[in-house]
């Protein structure tokens, strides 16, 4: 079988032996990949210490059967992720990007737009951009690309436009806002301010060129993190590990 080439982000590495690694990648061309990098822990060789967590690499691999690890034969570093100064919030956000890419996607299910969004996000986090705004933009963008974006303007049940004023009901199980007529009897409904819902809509819109100018006050930060944490946890069926470390982004 001929060798394949791909641009990829390193999501996870696990020591396989004294010299080798098992690597999980999210690639632009093939989606999520898992492979064995023989000699991947050596400082010199075909991998040149490129397989660092969150690094953008160009890899060459031999594709194996679904039950077998691919064989990575080469990796060239394009970009290494570095946190600005000692900003742990940027590091935790970047780890969460990797966790979502690993949890929300399937092997060999490519989403080039998602790869580009993830790469853009990691570069921005390295450049000390505001962490919460950039992370929420990634979360909502990933949900949109993968078909999981909640309804933010129309009732998820009846399709009626929900007035974006005062307090709004957001149904976690159904995936979006609900009108007053459809809310009774629903479980796992949380209340959000209309301002928080509008912020979500603005950050989710790929055509919105002004999103970087948005100011998010502490109350809205807390609301956004709360509802996104709950919604993503419901979607995955479990709480992501990095949610514990994202709580400080509300302050």
- Name, in order, each residue with C-beta under 8 angstroms of 65's C-beta and a sequence gap of 6 or more: none
- Per-residue pLDDT at 183: 95
SS3 content of the chain, % helix, strand, coil (to 5): 35, 25, 40
**Range with lowest mean pLDDT among 39-48, 126-135, 149-158:** 39-48
Number of domains comprising the chain: 2
pLDDT (average), residues 118-125:
97
- Per-residue pLDDT at 246: 86
Could you tell me where the DSSP H helices lie in the chain? 88-104, 112-126, 131-145, 194-204, 218-236, 243-246
- Per-residue pLDDT at 65: 82
**In whole angstroms, what is the distance from residue 121 CA to residue 173 CA?**
28
Q: What is the CATH number of the domain that holds 128?
A: 1.20.1440.120
pLDDT band at 248 (very low <50, low <70, confident <90, very high): confident
Residues 26 and 146 in one domain: no
Asked whether residue 68 is assigned to any structural domain, the reply reads: yes
Whether 41 has a pLDDT exceeding 80, the answer reads no
Residues 92 and 59 in one domain: no
Q: Per the structure block, which two tokens stand in for 142?
A: 């990933």
Whether 47 has a pLDDT exceeding 60, the answer reads yes
| Of 87, 83, 59, residue with least CA distance to 73 | 59
C-beta of residue 60 within 8 angstroms of C-beta of residue 40? no
Last residue of one domain, picked from the residues 79, 110, 142: 79
Q: What is the pLDDT of residues 171-195, one digit of tens each?
A: 999 999 999 999 999 999 999 999 9
Residues 14 and 61 in one domain: yes
pLDDT band at 229 (very low <50, low <70, confident <90, very high): very high
Asked whether residue 139 is assigned to any structural domain, the reply reads: yes
Q: Of residues 248 and 201, which shows the higher confidence score?
A: 201
Residues 231 and 107 in one domain: yes
Mean pLDDT of the chain: 93
pLDDT band at 18 (very low <50, low <70, confident <90, very high): confident
pTM of this structure: 0.93
Its domain, for residue 46, covers 4-79
- Per-residue pLDDT at 45: 67
Last residue of one domain, picked from the residues 79, 98, 130: 79
Residues 125 and 179 in one domain: yes
- Per-residue pLDDT at 251: 52
Residues 10 and 92 in one domain: no
Whether 94 has a pLDDT exceeding 60, the answer reads yes
Whether 87 has a pLDDT exceeding 70, the answer reads yes
DSSP secondary structure letter of residue 149: P
């Amino acid at each position: 079988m001929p060798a394949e080439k791909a641009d990829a982000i390193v999501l996870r590495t696990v020591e396989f032996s004294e010299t080798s690694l098992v690597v999980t990648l999210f690639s632009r061309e093939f989606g999520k990949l898992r492979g064995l990098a023989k000699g991947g822990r050596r400082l010199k060789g075909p991998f040149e210490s490129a397989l660092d967590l969150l690094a953008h690499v160009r890899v060459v691999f031999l594709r194996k059967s679904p039950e077998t690890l691919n064989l990575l034969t080469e990796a060239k570093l394009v970009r290494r992720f570095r946190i600005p100064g000692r900003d742990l919030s940027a590091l935790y956000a970047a780890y969460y990007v990797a966790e979502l890419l690993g949890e929300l996607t399937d092997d060999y299910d490519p989403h080039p737009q998602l790869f580009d969004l993830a790469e853009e996000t990691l570069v921005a986090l390295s450049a000390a951009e505001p962490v919460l705004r950039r992370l929420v933009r990634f979360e909502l963008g990933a949900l949109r690309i993968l078909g999981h974006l909640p309804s933010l303007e129309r009732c998820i049940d009846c399709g009626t436009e929900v007035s974006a004023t005062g307090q709004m009901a957001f149904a976690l199980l159904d995936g979006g806002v609900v009108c007053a007529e459809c809310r009774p009897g629903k479980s796992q409904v949380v209340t959000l301010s209309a301002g928080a819902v509008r912020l979500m809509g603005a950050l989710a819109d790929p055509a919105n060129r002004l999103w970087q100018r948005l100011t998010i006050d502490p109350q809205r930060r807390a609301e956004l993190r709360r509802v996104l944490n709950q919604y993503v946890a419901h979607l995955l069926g479990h709480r992501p590990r990095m949610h514990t470390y994202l709580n400080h982004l509300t302050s």
